[in-house]
Amino acid sequence: MDSFAANKRFAQDIGVKFPLLSDWKRKAVKDYGIYNEESGYATRATFVVDKVGKIQHIELGRTAIDPTGAYQVCDLLQKKKPAKQ
């Protein structure tokens, strides 16, 4: 929910190697159902999306900080045969 410019500085500071995206308008968090209208913030969440665009894993809240679940699902997806689109 930060601006992309703020994210750029953040990305430089910590040296990220993956796309760091800005949801400035809070559209993505609303579309993914994790925005809390009362607080004005989204909950932390991790979604794993497979190659055909289907959600294969969802983790919400404090446990979403731990990437173990997402890593395991990615590992399974890599071993899986390609699905028909």
Question: Cβ 23 to another protein, closest distance in Å?
Answer: 6
Question: Cβ 21 to another protein, closest distance in Å?
Answer: 4
How distant, in Å, are the alpha carbons of 23, 45, 72, 82 from that of 10? 15, 19, 27, 35
Tally Cβ neighbours within 10 Å of residue 59: 19
Identified binder of another protein from the candidate list 15, 17, 23, 37, rule CB under 8 A = 23
Cα–Cα distance for residue pair 72/69, rounded to 1 Å: 5
Interface residue list for another protein (CB under 8 A): 1-2, 4-8, 10-11, 19-24, 28-29, 31-34, 41-58, 60-61, 64-65, 67, 70, 74, 77-78, 85
